[in-house]
Structure 1
Amino acid sequence: MTTMEKEFHPKSGYLMLAAWFILVAATISLLILTESPWYAIGFLPIVLIMPGFIVVNPNESAVLILFGKYMGTIKRNGFFWTNPFYLKKRISLRARNFNSEPIKVNDKVGNPIMIGLVLVWRVKDTYKASFEVDEYEHFVVVQSDAALRKLAGMFPYDNFEHEEEEITLRAGGEVVNHKLENELIERLTIAGIQVIEARINYIAYASEIAGAMLRRQQATAVVAARSKIVEGAVGMVQMALDQLSQKQIVDLDEEKKAAMVSNLMVVLCSDESARPIVNAGTLHQ
């Protein structure tokens, strides 16, 4: 029993078409000349020959079945003639796009997210696509959904809570897409489907937590910015104290140094511009 695709080489359709016209002309001529109804039997092969003609367009195929038996697949494009009793099932070999609607799933740490994919695929093995699964196009849709759900459970959306995670869905890029491709290849091979490319095309937090997560991201960004500002301000204060000490511009005791550091830090780290106050007295007033 055949369990793999085999290519079928049909006869030229043009030769059979010429023979069909000759048969039609001969049958009609004999009926007219002899006026014998027995020659009408010639219409039987004429009718039987017609279903055998088939046109296969570029990047298309025709799976041939004879009384439940797989006979082969026509992959060459052109005009052909085959056994008229063959059942012909057409399958496109063109590349196709599947753009999934975003689905709600939980990531590795349990956060609900919305995620979608775009898949470029085509039929590679017409036998598997025809006989190993029911409705291979629907099979692609269902398995793509399952692969996307599995992928989402393997990685966190981001690493705000788990900083040790190097790969995340949001920033994983090619690593995550490659993992998705491998998962789809493993699932769709049974249907004779070739995965050309698979990528995540949409990812976001689910609506019920999107606001909270946005505030968390904003807070994280503010903390990171403040840390950078403080780090720079400390360096500037240190440089100012070193310059004053080296050039002996003014001699400051520890108390005045502490006051100066406090004032500089306030000026450098403040959100608003500093408003200078002119001291008309001495440094002690």
Structure 2
Amino acid sequence: MNERRYSAPSGIPALIGLIVLLLADGAWLITSLQHQILWAILLAVLAGVVLLIALGGFFTVAPNEAKVLQFFGRYVGTVRDAGPRWTNPFYSKRSVSLRVRNFESNKLKVNDLDGNPIEIAAVVVWQVVDTAEAIFEVNDYEDFIHIQSESALRSMATSYPYDSHDTGALSLRSHGKEISEHLQQEIQDRLTSAGIKVIESRITHLAFAPEIAQAMLQRQQASAIIAARTRIVEGAVSMVEMALEQLAKRNVVQLDEERKAAMVSNLLVVLCGERGTQPIVNTGTLYS
């Protein structure tokens, strides 16, 4: 079922016309009572009842709001024009907000692609674009949005690892833009049948589950230490290589292989050590 636009006439001219008719009917009723014309009295009363029922056809449409009209269960159309309107008084009128709305999901506990338990939550920005689908295709479209969004979030979280561990693969922690686009598409696929457009979705909470948080923190710290040590060693080896080349090029000192090995060992200790070294000055040999 798709939305059909319904053009309801403006309510102000209709209101003025009904008021004029009611006044005229009242004057006719008074005249009929004075002359005691039975058929005229009955006709005036009947006309008054019809005019009073017609007053029930007035309704107001607020900006960014729509009114879904039904006639004894049959869908008639949707009025989107803001302002006072008038239509068949027997039409039922249900309001649907067209404003942009958002909600934040609960913190869900799921397993990522690697099987690690994580906690994840997301915010979803959405808007009703088809009022007929939102009202008639699902029982409660707001509840439907919440449940389907959390279901899509669970499905997306199980498709990626929490962290790529420097492998460059897509992960929940390091590729926020790609993950948000995937999540938005997952939610949109589930909400299209309800006439909902997903404007934006993004992760607002992402963490390891409490039972493995400490172990994963130690793993991250170890990975960071290894990466830092690797960079330090690479730099130290380059500096030692450069020092040996400069000494040989400038012919400052001639070193045999044993002394080169000792020099390399000392330089690596100095460059790779966590603490500052204390130099020992060789002042010669003391003979007794």
- Of 238, 241, 244, the residue aligned with 1:238 is 241
Quick check: 1:43 aligned with 2:82? no
Q: How does 1:28-177 map to 2 (within 5 A)?
A: 28-35=26-33, 38=42, 39-160=44-165, 166-177=169-180
Over aligned residue pairs, what C-alpha RMSD do you find? 1.7
Report how far residue 170 of structure 1 moved. 0.9
Q: Which residue of 2 aligns with 1:18?
A: 16
Q: Which moved more, 1:26-35 or 1:58-67?
A: 26-35
Matched residue SS, 2:21: helix
Quick check: 1:186 aligned with 2:189? yes
Q: Which moved more, 1:142-151 or 1:3-12?
A: 3-12
Q: How many residues align?
A: 278
Separation of aligned partners in 1, 2:264 and 2:67: 84
- Of 262, 265, 272, the residue aligned with 1:262 is 265
Report how far residue 31 of structure 1 moved. 4.2
**1:6 is aligned with what amino acid?**
R
Report how far residue 165 of structure 1 moved. 6.1
What stretches of structure 2 of length at least 5 have no aligned partner? Answer: none
**1:87 is aligned with what amino acid?**
S
Separation of aligned partners in 1, 2:140 and 2:224: 49
Q: Which moved more, 1:145-154 or 1:171-180?
A: 171-180
Separation of aligned partners in 1, 2:244 and 2:284: 23
Matched residue SS, 2:106: coil
Q: Which moved more, 1:138-147 or 1:209-218?
A: 209-218
Q: Which residue of 1 aligns with 2:7?
A: 9
Q: How does 1:208-227 map to 2 (within 5 A)?
A: 208-227=211-230
**2:53 is aligned with what amino acid?**
L
Matched residue SS, 1:89: strand
Separation of aligned partners in 1, 2:52 and 2:210: 63
Q: Which residue of 2 aligns with 1:27?
A: 25
Separation of aligned partners in 1, 2:17 and 2:252: 113
- Name the % identity: 49
Matched residue SS, 2:203: strand
Q: Which moved more, 1:100-109 or 1:21-30?
A: 21-30
**2:250 is aligned with what amino acid?**
K
Report how far residue 279 of structure 1 moved. 0.9
Report how far residue 10 of structure 1 moved. 1.2
- Of 270, 276, 281, the residue aligned with 1:278 is 281
Structure 1 residue runs of 4 or more that deviate by more than 6 Å after TM superposition:
none
**1:100 is aligned with what amino acid?**
S
Q: Deviations over 1:167-186 (max 9, x none)?
A: 11111222211111111111
Separation of aligned partners in 2, 1:143 and 1:60: 24
Separation of aligned partners in 1, 2:265 and 2:244: 12
